[in-house]
Structure 1
Amino acid sequence: MSYNIRKLKYFVDDIDGGLRTNQLIAEDYFLAEDDHELGEMMGMMMSQAHYSSFWGVARGELATKAVHAQEKENLRLSWTSGTTPLTSNTFFREGYVHFTKGNFLSNMPIIGRALSMFFQKKVIESLVVREGKVVFRDLGYNWQLGVH
């Protein structure tokens, strides 16, 4: 019997038996993040969790809130996939980003925001869960280099 990467990506090594609980935590975190519920989101993160985005890496609650506010103000994110496990502690989801502010196209008067919708880019958001808390979150472009 032969396998290819597309078939194998659905088999996750769950050594410690925490895949199901960690996936529920990741799904709840993604929902809280999408709804901009900062209190709930911060409650699911460790106090010194890494929160990475297009504006750099933040560590700690205040810095995370600042980066999240920057994302909320400048980005419109739409997700095309649900929470997908890579390992029993690492999860990701894929989607598209539309910059509503801060780039040449979106800053054009009157038509800039409408035109910028046609130039969305693929993004991937990764999450690492340890001991029931999110310890790392990353949002970046999905380059798909050499992935088949």
Structure 2
Amino acid sequence: MSYSGRKLKYFVEDSDGWLRRNQQVAEQFVMAEDDRETKEMLSLLAPRAHFASFWGVVRGLPAAVALQAQEREHLRITWTSGLQPLTSRTFARNGYVHVLDRERMSFIPVLGPWLSSFFQRPVQELLVVREGRVVFRGMGYVWDIGKH
């Protein structure tokens, strides 16, 4: 008997029965992020966030708000895939990020966004959901071993 790798990647072991519930929570989190509803994201960031500037260091919720504002000002993320379950508690989605820099070509009228699209990098976001709550969010570049 033979198996197709493409078909097998959609089968995720759900031994504890949490896959469907956790997937709904992860999808709600992603939709809230895409709709700019920031309450849950800020609650995730607040306990560990710190933000440093010339004027000093801030921790907690004000730091989380500052980090999110910096991210929105300097990054544009386009998601190319929906959430894919890796385990019953871990979900991933893929996309592209490109850095917006005010001094560079992305702010040239008409041609700027098109020219800057050549400098996009693939990213992957991972979400870990436990007991109906997102407990970890990680985002990073997708590294290609053959190129780096």
Distance of aligned partners of 1:62 and 1:22 in 2 relative to their CA distance in 1, 3 Å threshold? farther
Aligned twin of 1:94 = 94
Aligned twin of 1:116 = 116
Give the unaligned 5+ runs of structure 2: 50-58
Aligned twin of 2:56 = none
Aligned twin of 2:34 = 34
Aligned twin of 2:131 = 131
Does the 8 Å CA contact 2:94/2:124 hold for their aligned counterparts?
Answer: yes
* Cα deviation code 1:19-43 (max 9, x no counterpart): 1111111111111111221125446
SS in 2 for 1:17: coil
Aligned twin of 2:18 = 18
TM-score by length of 2: 0.74
RMSD: 2.9
SS in 1 for 2:14: coil
* Cα deviation code 1:44-82 (max 9, x no counterpart): x497478xxxxxxxx954443332222111111111111
Q: Distance in 2 between matches of 1:47 and 1:136?
A: 12
Does the 8 Å CA contact 1:106/1:112 hold for their aligned counterparts?
Answer: yes
Per the TM alignment, residue 3 of structure 1 is displaced from its structure 2 partner at its CA by: 2.6
Aligned twin of 1:3 = 3
Larger radius of gyration: 2
Q: Distance in 1 between matches of 2:138 and 2:103?
A: 21
Q: Distance in 2 between matches of 1:61 and 1:9?
A: 38
Does the 8 Å CA contact 1:123/1:142 hold for their aligned counterparts?
Answer: yes
Distance of aligned partners of 1:84 and 1:145 in 2 relative to their CA distance in 1, 3 Å threshold? farther
Q: Which has the bigger relative contact order, CA under 8 A and spacing at least 6? A: 1
- In structure 2, give the amino acid aligned to 1:14: D
TM-score by length of 1: 0.74
